[in-house]
């Protein structure tokens, strides 16, 4: 990936895959640090450290060596990138990395990641946090093993979503850092994944609130069409966040998800607390129609679907909205009024993914 690239290479879309613990990772980290020091010390880059799970003996990990370092300034980034490029390092521009506190390079071999370099300015607290977390796991074997088990579970759950996988580890990492009396710096990734915040509705839902949500459902097709208007093929195939879905996938996901939800409404209205059929949205997002089909097909589908859905919603009584279905995966019972709120939010949530990407990229 060049500094001017607005597209993502294959290595940027890799699945989350954990390898068994490998004792060679420590030696690989040492060798990589020696190589980086030889190339970068003259540019004021110093304090190289091997971090991440490959630095912890016995932990399963993505087979990628993470190295971090510090610099007094980012003024020599062009020279640093030139020095690294001959060794297969790719600079990820800040506007795509979306972590303004660091500069980031990915070393690849045959289009697969093999190493990361995280460069921080001296004094950046995240450098100290990374060291503190690594050292905590080295000191406490019980913490390391608990972290390893969590990673295995999350890798299975978020195999196709590297950012979600990383975010899901955040609570554990924060807990360990607080145990070590380290102040935790919050990441901006959450804002990219949830640009309008998470949906939260508990207790009674008023009739007024239901009407507002129904209006949002009615307006979604127009807002979605406006959000993608004028985007070319390359832009539609750009992820809205690092390791996230492309704009094209987001649009098709909305059609898939809302079609499933519409069916669940019909089941709940005609059966006594039916058990719905879950689906793997991550896998659906990788099918050919989601990855390749023109977005106009799903725009038309969503418009027709929501026209029918809104007619149905506006016909429902208080008693209808209190009907429920059972979700066998979460083992929870859901009321239709709360589900209505969830999908009104869901539409705004994904439209915001697209519009926030357009703002960041200047499209």
3-state secondary structure of 48: strand
Q: Measured between alpha carbons, how far is 273 from 309 in angstroms, rounded to an integer? A: 20
Q: Is the distance from CB of 36 to CB of 69 less than 8 angstroms?
A: yes
Q: Sign of dihedral through CA atoms 26, 27, 28, 33?
A: positive
Answer yes or no: is 350 a known binding residue: yes
pLDDT digits (tens, 9 = 90+) for 44-99: 999 999 999 999 999 999 999 999 999 999 999 999 999 999 999 999 988 777 78
Q: Which residue has the tokens 């929870």?
A: 332
Answer yes or no: is 116 a known binding residue: no
Largest CA distance in the chain: 72
Q: Measured between alpha carbons, how far is 203 from 184 in angstroms, rounded to an integer? A: 33
231 token code pair: 């985007």
Q: Is the distance from CB of 129 to CB of 136 less than 8 angstroms?
A: no
Q: Measured between alpha carbons, how far is 325 from 276 in angstroms, rounded to an integer? A: 7
pLDDT, position 193: 82
Q: Sign of dihedral through CA atoms 350, 283, 147, 118?
A: negative
* Cβ-based neighbours of 334, under 8 Å, separated by 6 or more: 324, 325, 326, 327
The list of the chain residues with pLDDT below 70 reads 1-14, 160-163, 186-190
pLDDT, position 97: 78
Quote the crossing angle between the two packed helices 295-315 and 207-228, to the nearest 10°: 170
pLDDT, position 5: 38
pLDDT, position 187: 56
Q: Measured between alpha carbons, how far is 128 from 341 in angstroms, rounded to an integer? A: 41
Q: What domains appear along the chain, each with residue ranges and CATH number?
A: 10-192 (3.30.460.10), 197-361 (1.20.120.450)
pLDDT, position 160: 67
53 token code pair: 């799970």
Q: Which residue has the tokens 């955040």?
A: 170
102-109 and 89-92 strand pairing = antiparallel
Phi, psi dihedrals of residue 76, rounded to the nearest 5°: -110, 25
Query: Taking the mean position of all CA atoms in its chain, how far away is CA 162?
Result: 6
Q: Which residue has the tokens 């895959």?
A: 17
pLDDT digits (tens, 9 = 90+) for 131-180: 999 999 999 999 999 999 999 998 888 776 666 777 788 889 989 999 98
Please, which residues bridge with residue 49 across strands?
68
pLDDT, position 163: 67
| Single pTM value for the model | 0.59
pLDDT, position 16: 75
DSSP letters spanning 81-130? HHHHHTTTEEEE-HHHH--TTEEEEEEEETTEEEEEEEEEETT-HHHHHH
Q: What is the rounded end-to-end Cα distance, in angstroms, of the chain?
A: 20
45-51 and 65-71 strand pairing = antiparallel
Q: Is the distance from CB of 50 to CB of 66 less than 8 angstroms?
A: yes
Q: Where do the DSSP E strands lie in the chain?
A: 45-51, 65-71, 89-92, 102-109, 112-121, 324-327, 332-335
């Amino acid at each position: 990936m060049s500094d001017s690239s607005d597209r993502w290479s294959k290595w940027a879309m890799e699945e989350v895959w954990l390898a068994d613990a490998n004792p060679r990772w420590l030696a690989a980290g040492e060798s990589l640090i020696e190589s980086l020091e030889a190339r970068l010390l003259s540019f004021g880059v110093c304090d190289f450290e091997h971090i991440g799970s490959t630095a912890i003996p016995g932990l399963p990990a993505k087979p990628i060596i993470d190295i971090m370092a510090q610099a007094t300034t980012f003024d020599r980034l062009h020279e640093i990138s030139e020095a690294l490029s001959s060794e297969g390092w790719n600079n990820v521009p800040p506007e795509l990395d979306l972590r303004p506190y660091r500069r980031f390079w990915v070393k690849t071999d045959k289009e697969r990641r093999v190493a990361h370099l995280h460069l921080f300015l001296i004094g950046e607290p995240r450098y100290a946090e990374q060291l503190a977390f690594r050292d905590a796991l080295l000191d406490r074997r019980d913490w390391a093993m608990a972290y390893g088990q969590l990673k295995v579970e999350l890798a299975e759950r978020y195999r196709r979503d590297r950012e979600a996988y990383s975010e899901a580890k955040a609570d554990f990492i924060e807990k360990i850092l607080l145990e070590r009396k380290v102040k935790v710096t919050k990441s901006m990734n959450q804002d990219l994944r949830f640009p309008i915040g998470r949906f939260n509705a508990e207790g009674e839902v008023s009739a007024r609130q239901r009407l507002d949500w129904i209006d949002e459902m009615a307006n979604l097709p127009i807002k979605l069409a406006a959000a993608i208007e004028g985007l070319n093929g390359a832009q539609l195939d750009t992820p809205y966040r690092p390791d996230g879905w492309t704009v094209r996938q987001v649009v098709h996901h909305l059609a898939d998800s809302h079609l499933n939800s519409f069916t669940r409404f019909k089941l709940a209205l005609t059966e006594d607390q039916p058990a719905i059929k879950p689906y793997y949205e991550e896998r659906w997002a990788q099918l050919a129609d989601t990855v390749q089909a023109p977005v106009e097909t799903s725009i038309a589908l969503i418009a027709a679907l929501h026209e029918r859905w809104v007619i149905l919603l506006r016909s429902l009584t208080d008693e209808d909205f209190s009907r429920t279905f059972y979700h066998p995966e979460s083992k929870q019972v859901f009321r239709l009024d709360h589900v209505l709120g969830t999908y009104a939010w869901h539409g705004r949530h994904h439209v915001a993914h697209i519009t926030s990407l357009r703002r960041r990229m200047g499209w």
